[in-house]
Chain A
Amino acid sequence: MTPHPSLRTFVLLALLASTGVRAGPADWLYNGAFANWMTSNAGNRYHTFTPEAADKRAAEIAAAGFKAAITSGYHFRLNFASRDADIRRIARVIADACHKHGLKVIEHHDWTIHFYDAYPLVFEHPDWLQLNAEDMLTRHRIFCLNNPEFQEAYLDYLRRYQRETNTDAYQLDEIQYLSREYCGCRHCRAKHVRDTKRSWPPTHDPAFWAGEHTRADYRDWMHWRARSLGDFRARIGRELRKIRPDVAMFDYTTMLQSNPGGFNRGAMIEERGFDDDTFGTEVNSAPFASHPFVYATLKSRQALGEAHGKPIWAKLEYTQQTAYFTWAFGQACRCSLWGGLAPVEDRPAQEKLLKWPHQMDQRVARSAADIGLFLSRSTRDSNPDPDHFYHEFEGWLQALCLTHNDTRVLLESRWKPGMDLSSLKLIILPNVTVISSEQRALLMSYVENGGRLLLTACADGWPVRRVGKGQILHRADKLGPLAFENQQMPTSIYRSAFKPPKDPRAIEQIGATVEKILAGVPRFRIEGAPRGLLAPIYRDGTRRIVHLLNASGRALKPGDGIDNPKRGELPMPALPAMTLHLPGQVSSAVLATPERPDTIPLEVGAGSTIKVPAGSFRTYGVVYAYE
């Protein structure tokens, strides 16, 4: 007998609840904008503790087009243990108000770090604290995530929070290590042996730390540490989904832990988020001022999101003057945004942006860039000098994007024998010094079938010549570290100042190198665009979607402050007429921009060229090209 549909649903939900298993990421996580509820960090939650005040706030957020509210405040939650009941009571008031207005609630807190008020717990359990594996005498303010007693205590807290507040999602902060030396506690040692069937590495030996990435045991240990963080996050998710099956888990990292080069504190990029529903990054810098770095970093996150079929999001700093640009930046990066509720002064109103009907559907759109840049974790892990791989990789990525050569990041961790690389017109290996025989074979097959492989710096063992229908090329110098622009942190917070790349000419050289290699090859490119126009291309079924974001007005000199402007508008030079070249068929194309009420039909010329007239938009437009 076929069960009644509602019975089937009930049985399925019951099964999911009992196992903690869940389906893929929910739709609300894509094309999202998540508003700060009210406060942050040491702030309290009493701002909206009454149903009336919460209702008013939720109504504002919903009306502005946000999909969710992020509840912060009492951030280092252990320090407010005596207020737990109040915190949960207020959280329930907030959740009820949000749900009434169709908003999801994302709880953001930290339960791993303690200060003063958590000392009663710490004094009771000082051995829960992370322990320096090198000296075995220094502990840290973060509890060890592998300590089973600590895990149970945290899970008890979260289970109760979930039961009493009906929260929709969790963004749990600081599930991480202090630094590379942590943690050496006996629970970490025991778990390492259980997981790897290998003995604990010689962390008492100075040679272990001096050798770092050159030692296989060091590299293995670092990856094991990273996976352990994921193990705990996964367990949290499973436990919370037993209470409510659709609870979403947000991966959460600061920028330091999100770039593909660093992982001493957290997990390396390819070890992140397996069991989370999103990949997220607290960027903490203004995307206009820091667009080369932030854009490239989100490219790597985007690759991770596409590989795992999960959405990405970023916390970007913005003001009224930069809210429109920042929203558009998220669109271009296929990225949901976490931000405040800020009126938009530099063009369309916030609610118009967040509800804009021409947004690319992030659930189905995938990068259609035809240049691939290989993120070789093996090379990165083999040498701690950032100039060896990370800066070469990131410098090339930034320069390619700035010169309108849209690029996909190819994650080594996702490479499998036989995978199809034929959509790529060029693959770049940025000083890749460590590569497996399977990966090499895959790349040789790609070249033999007509692909182009560019090696930078290291070409050891490669035949630099025509191979089959394709070609292997070599550029011996390392332009990446010269072109690399580091993150520009806000001056008001970090007292920082603008630092340009070591040699900005390297950016043009990288662009010219690719232009030369791909001369005459049908591919996506733009004619007439100024430097600083960001132009990623995506495919959504038979449509191709090109975002055009104008960052060309950035004019920073070394030493300049790099905050979001508090008054006036972002410098936004008028854009000239541009021509998009798309490979394959294009029958029609339109441009949509929040700056105009209607879409603009675009002229499609011979060879699948699309003309974008001068002045079509000022800050942001998106071209939909139909086959």
Chain B
Amino acid sequence: MRMSKRIAILLLLAATSVIAGDFELKSAAPLSLAWRGAPLIVAENAEPEFAPKPVVTRVDALIHHVWRADDKSKTRIEVATGEDTFELTLVRLVEADVSGLVRYTFTVPHAFLDGCPAEWIAEPEGKTGKAARKGVATGTLGPRDIKNANLITYLRVHHPAGDLDFDFNPRGWWTGEKTITPHAAEWNMRRTAAGYEFSSAFSRTMAGTLQEFKVVIRRADKRPVSDVHPRVANRWTDGYRNIFRLDKDKIHIERDTLQFRVPRDGWYMVNMLVGATDRPIGPCEVWADETKKRQMPRVAPGERDTWTLVARAVNETITLRLRGDFHLTAVGVTPMLYENEDYLFRRGWWLSSQRHPGDTLPE
């Protein structure tokens, strides 16, 4: 097939709307999106400017892959539209000398957000309401109310057509130390003549940089805003705190199966205190659903040791199986990765393995 024909087809595909539930992707490049019939994203732009000719590939019915490259920058974008979720994932390498900002911006029209009550994990500027929960600001978007917000990590909009969440850090934060948490992006919102501009930027790049983020827009989570990505530690110096501990008299093991309830689905570290004064303990194999068996070490008489494994909680239940000799005197359970933040095990950061031949960007 001649290249021009291929490009023509690609452009045709790119121009084709994808309707998947609530979201309608009108264009992957430049990005144009509607939600329940209302224009949601009407423009996108970048500084330095994107390479002018995007290569858009429709990976499947729901996923578009966009590649933009010139001698100044290379950009990989994945746009995915689901039943009630929209994902925008970007990695961009700016190669040449850059004296100013490296910034990506998408624009939401005034008509979509003006007058909408909103909840933020952010620092909005203007008339804010009393926060229902610590760290969550509330207020109404509009020209006479809240026009700007800084350091946004989460936004919930109470739109007349339904509640909508903008999740700017879908992996969660886990600690409050932004500068040491990998991939933590902070977004800003500015109400301009063009609409509400949401942007993520890096400054003082001097010679180039790598910009990367994922934004997830979805039907509002049932949980309060502050609970979608609960912070589990204030600093890296905080240990993994056990959310509960079972002592000997509360550990019920039936048919070598230990089950307990946890507050939400995800991945948990389970520590088992093992030992007996009068006899050795072990050997023992321990495993959980979706994890491989772990051979736990023997424990000498009078000694204590800790057997540890990571288990996935499904339906808010962790099920451990033990085969061999064991004697548990306490069990401690601590969350490591919640299901809604899992872009490591249950799925990857990128939904598609589609890559342009010239794409040497990191994953």
Contacts and interface: CB of A to CB of B under 8 A. Distances in A.
Interface of A: 38, 40-42, 44, 46-50, 53, 56-57, 75-76, 79-80, 82-83, 86, 113, 115-117, 119-120, 122-123, 126-127, 129, 131-132, 135-141, 178-179, 184-186, 204
A138 B93 contact: no
A57 B360 CA distance: 24
B267 A141 contact: no
A137 B337 contact: no
A119 B337 contact: yes
Contact of A76 (B182, B267, B337): B182
B271 A122 contact: no
A109 to B, nearest CB: 12
A7 B286 CA distance: 58
Contact of B207 (A57, A127, A138): A57
Contact of A42 (B179, B239, B241, B245): B179
A80 B182 contact: yes
B177 to A, nearest CB: 9
A433 to B, nearest CB: 32
A115 B174 CA distance: 8
Given A116-B344, A137-B271, A141-B239, 18 more contacts: A46-B208, A46-B209, A47-B209, A49-B208, A75-B180, A76-B180, A82-B362, A115-B181, A115-B236, A117-B182, A119-B267, A119-B344, A119-B345, A123-B336, A132-B239, A137-B330, A138-B241, A184-B306
Interface of B: 93, 95, 97, 171-172, 174-175, 178-184, 205-210, 236-237, 239-242, 245, 267, 269, 271, 273, 291, 297, 304-310, 330-332, 334, 336-337, 341, 344-345, 362-363
A126 B205 contact: no
Nearest to A46: B210
B174 A126 contact: no
A79 B97 CA distance: 27
Contacts of B174: 115-116
Given A42-B181, A42-B184, A141-B240, A136 B306 contact: yes
A168 B341 CA distance: 39
Contacts of A113: 236
B308 A139 contact: yes
14 contacts: A44-B209, A46-B209, A48-B207, A53-B207, A56-B207, A80-B182, A115-B180, A117-B183, A119-B337, A127-B308, A136-B273, A137-B271, A138-B242, A178-B237
Residue among B171, B179, B210 with the highest chain A CB neighbour number at 10 A: B210
Given A41-B179, A123-B267, A204-B304, A141 B241 contact: no
A362 B260 CA distance: 62
A139 B307 CA distance: 11
A115 B179 CA distance: 13
A83 B180 CA distance: 17
B208 to A, nearest CB: 6
Contacts of B273: 136-137
Contacts of B337: 116, 119
B245 to A, nearest CB: 6
A220 to B, nearest CB: 20
Contacts of A79: 182
A138 B206 contact: no
B205 A136 contact: no
B207 A47 contact: yes
A38 B206 contact: yes
A139 B206 contact: no
A49 B97 CA distance: 11
A337 B174 CA distance: 33
B250 to A, nearest CB: 14
B287 to A, nearest CB: 13
B270 to A, nearest CB: 9
B236 A141 contact: yes
A44 B308 contact: no
B175 A140 contact: no
A129 B183 CA distance: 23
Contact of A50 (B95, B184, B209, B310): B95
Contacts of A129: 240, 308
Contacts of A48: 207-208
A247 B183 CA distance: 32
Contacts of B237: 178-179
Residue among A49, A137, A140 with the highest chain B CB neighbour number at 10 A: A137
Contacts of A75: 180
Contacts of B171: 116
B336 A119 contact: yes
Residue among B174, B304, B307, B337 with the highest chain A CB neighbour number at 10 A: B304
A42 B180 contact: yes
A139 B183 CA distance: 24
Nearest to A76: B180
A38 B202 CA distance: 14
Given A138-B239, A138-B332, A186 B305 contact: yes
Nearest to B237: A178
A183 to B, nearest CB: 11
Given A46-B208, A47-B206, A116-B171, A138 B344 contact: no
B175 A115 contact: yes
Given A47-B209, A131-B306, A186 B297 contact: yes
Nearest to A185: B306
A47 B205 contact: yes
B271 A117 contact: no
Please provide the 8 A-B residue pairs with the shortest distance between their CB atoms, ordered closest to farther.
A137-B332, A53-B207, A46-B210, A126-B308, A79-B182, A140-B239, A123-B310, A44-B210
Contacts of A135: 332
Residue among B172, B207, B337 with the highest chain A CB neighbour number at 10 A: B207
Contacts of A141: 236, 239-240
Contacts of B179: 40-42
Residue among B97, B182, B273, B363 with the highest chain A CB neighbour number at 10 A: B182
B137 to A, nearest CB: 20
B12 to A, nearest CB: 35
Residue among A119, A136, A184 with the highest chain B CB neighbour number at 10 A: A136
A467 to B, nearest CB: 49
Contacts of A179: 237
Contacts of B304: 136, 204
Given A44-B209, A127-B308, A186-B297, A138 B271 contact: yes
A116 to B, nearest CB: 6
A53 to B, nearest CB: 4
B344 A140 contact: no
Given A46-B93, A48-B207, A53-B208, A139 B344 contact: no
Contacts of A119: 267, 336-337, 344-345
B306 A137 contact: yes
A322 B182 CA distance: 31
A141 B330 CA distance: 21
A40 B204 CA distance: 13
Contacts of B242: 137-138
A612 to B, nearest CB: 42
A491 B345 CA distance: 41
A284 to B, nearest CB: 13
B111 to A, nearest CB: 37
A140 B206 CA distance: 37
Given A46-B209, A57-B207, A122 B182 contact: no
Contacts of A138: 239-242, 271, 332, 334
Nearest to B94: A46
Residue among B239, B297, B310 with the highest chain A CB neighbour number at 10 A: B239
A38 B337 CA distance: 32
A139 B271 contact: yes
B210 A82 contact: no
